[in-house]
Amino acid sequence: MRKKIVAGNWKMHTTPDEGLTLARQVMETAHANEHREVIFFAPFVHLTTLQKEVSVSPFFSVGAQNCSNHEKGAFTGEVAAFMLRSIDVSWVLVGHSERRQYYHENHTILKQKVDQALSQQLLVMFCCGETLDQRMEGNFREVIRKQLEESLFHLDATQMNQVAIAYEPVWAIGTGQTATPDQAQEVHAFIRELIKQKYGDGVAARVRIVYGGSVKPDNAKDLFNKPDIDGGLVGGASLNALDFVTIIHAAE
Ligand code: PEP
């Protein structure tokens, strides 16, 4: 049985104090459950303090929203995977559509980021998903296949066990327009099939594939009940403790 993941992506919101308050509220209210884990993907300046707070619980962990594609050196403004490792951050988000769109992160850069993260024993949540145009044109499966093949499928099976995948249709992120549970399930099953073809049944059965795109308290349960949807990556609703806790509880 795959452990469900509910991850909050705080994006570029909240001060470190506000983030700490939010995390405390969530941790105090959410029921502990060994069949799911909760991740806070917080801005870099939150991570040291947040990690200390969250490390007391086995059900919660902290992730960075990005890391450099380089190991170290003259890359002003970047944060390297080894720095995240040094403060015991568990996860790093790679390939979010906002990074692809606004910071021009292409397949090659994302592949390098995946490698950097794994070389420092960080767990990777790798985002993939199609734009509205790509869905309308009907070639979204090819788009997703390419995103996975170009940035992820160079990994060996052991490395793949350190990766979770977030299917995030770009047209559903921050728009209030959610993929229906059936639409999402269809793509999740497709992604799992790609993993099976590449890595075999065992890896495909183990890899967690979470859905992201306007997950809210009122749609989370229907999404998470689908057989190939192993939880959610939640943006806007993760900034409200009550909403986020309701979403966490939907992942049974
Ligand atoms: C996200 O940031 O990954 C996301 C899915 O955002 P939202 O839930 O706001 O659509």
pTM of this prediction exceeds 0.85: yes
Report how many domains make up the chain: 1
- Its domain, for residue 28, covers 4-250
User: How does pLDDT run along the chain (252 residues), one tens digit per residue?
Assistant: 899 999 999 999 999 999 999 999 999 999 888 999 999 999 999 999 999 999 999 999 999 999 999 999 999 999 999 999 999 999 999 999 999 999 999 999 999 999 999 999 999 999 999 999 999 899 999 999 999 999 999 999 999 999 999 999 999 988 888 889 999 999 999 999 999 999 999 999 999 999 999 999 999 999 999 999 999 999 999 999 999 999 999 998
Contact yes or no for 117/164 (Cβ under 8 A): no
CATH code of 185's domain: 3.20.20.70
Position 9 scores a pLDDT of 98
Non-local CB neighbours of 196 within 8 Å, separated by 6+ positions: 203, 204
Q: Residue 113: is it exposed, middle or buried by C-beta count within 10 angstroms (0-12/13-18/19+)? A: buried
Q: H helices of 30-67, where?
A: 47-54
Ligand 1, residue 176: give the atom nearest the CA.
10
Rounded to whole angstroms, the Cα distance separating 67 from 65 reads: 7
Position 83 scores a pLDDT of 98
Q: What separation in Å is there between the alpha carbon of 70 and the centre of ligand 1? A: 27
Rounded to whole angstroms, the Cα distance separating 245 from 27 reads: 9
Ligand 1, residue 173: give the atom nearest the CA.
10
Position 214 scores a pLDDT of 93
Rounded to whole angstroms, the Cα distance separating 50 from 20 reads: 6
Position 95 scores a pLDDT of 98
Position 32 scores a pLDDT of 85
Non-local CB neighbours of 66 within 8 Å, separated by 6+ positions: 44, 79, 92, 93, 94, 96, 99, 113
Position 178 scores a pLDDT of 86
Ligand 1 pocket residue status of 235, Cβ below 6 Å: yes
